[in-house]
Chain A
Amino acid sequence: MANSSIIFYILSALILTTAILSVTTLKIFRAAIWLLFSLIGIAGLYFWLSVEFIAAVQIIVYVGGIVVLIIFSIFLTQQSGKGMQKNSLRRIIAATIAIAIGFVMTSLLIFQFDFKLENKIFDSGIAKIGTQMLSVEKDGFALPFEVVSILLLAAMVGCIVIAIKSKPQEK
């Protein structure tokens, strides 16, 4: 087995183990930290797939932004060391059966499907991505880019409106 595939299997093991720990641990702060490791593993997978720009965005936005936001909201809403109450065994068994059936059926479909692989060189240089992202020609993504920027602005205003503390009513 070549080195590159060994790296892939190590990365997958890291991602899946930390993801499982993140959804099963009973301490919410530990769940956030395991999620952090899982997201770093996925960034490593993007490096392995040679899409360096996506890997950098993954580290900046997910690891640096979303996980920090989640940890802040854990601090704001509850004691971080306090454990969550245990789930009922019935719910865990039912969920395990449901996801096992879903996983097996999807994997069977994937292994049976005949993918038409192309053996061309995959080039995802940042210059190519940037040029196509802001191009207004046929394959450009300038309009979605602007729409997403307006969406982010709307989300920012919405967050402030939702989370703002209303003033007390007395004069």
Chain B
Amino acid sequence: MNEVPLTHILVLSTALFFIGMFGLFTRRNMITILMSVELILNSVNINFVAFNKYLFPEKLDGVFFVLFIIAIAAAEAALAIAIIINLYRNHQSIDVDDATEMKF
């Protein structure tokens, strides 16, 4: 049943998290930044399910956390895209370097 050790799944989700961080560091376009955030949220979900299955198999708390994270991620993506579309209407651009009005 548990032929693959837990550490390998955790290393996979760590790698996915840092790939998302790389996207956050290098991208300047708001939609691609949103994609990187989705990758990071997915790596957290893999962690929750793996811990639930390997360490606490008689409970289901990790599965419920994943369900709620997915619901909140959907709400977050919808709101972020509404903000991006509004910004595009005002600036004709969704580059984060162009949106500097609120910079102090």
Contacts and interface: CB of A to CB of B under 8 A. Distances in A.
Contacts of B34: 70
Given A49-B49, A53-B63, A99-B21, A152 B71 contact: yes
B42 A8 contact: no
Given A23-B39, A141-B64, A51 B29 contact: no
Contacts of A124: 60, 63
Contacts of B25: 91, 94-95, 98-99
Nearest to B56: A118
Contacts of A39: 38, 42
Can you list the 7 inter-chain pairs with the closest CB atoms, starting with the nearest? A23-B23, A95-B25, A155-B75, A122-B57, A163-B82, A159-B82, A99-B18
Contacts, number: 205
Contacts of B29: 28, 84
Given A70-B81, A95-B25, A110-B10, A61 B70 contact: yes
B46 A42 contact: yes
25 contacts: A8-B4, A31-B32, A32-B31, A39-B38, A42-B42, A49-B49, A61-B74, A62-B42, A76-B85, A87-B28, A98-B21, A99-B22, A106-B18, A115-B7, A117-B6, A119-B2, A122-B57, A124-B63, A133-B64, A141-B64, A158-B82, A159-B78, A159-B79, A159-B81, A162-B82
B19 A20 contact: yes
Contacts of B35: 22-23, 31-32, 35, 70
A116 B57 CA distance: 12
A76 B19 contact: no
A107 B11 contact: yes
Interface of B: 2-4, 6-12, 14-16, 18-23, 25-29, 31-32, 34-36, 38-39, 42, 45-46, 49-50, 52-58, 60, 63-64, 66-68, 70-79, 81-86, 88-89, 94
Contacts of B66: 54
Interface range for A: 35 or more
A54 B73 CA distance: 14
Contacts of B70: 57-58, 61-62
Given A23-B32, A121-B57, A122-B53, A38 B26 contact: no
Contacts of B57: 118, 120-123
B84 A77 contact: yes
Given A2-B3, A163-B85, A151 B74 contact: no
Interface string A44-85: 011001110110011001100110011011101110000010
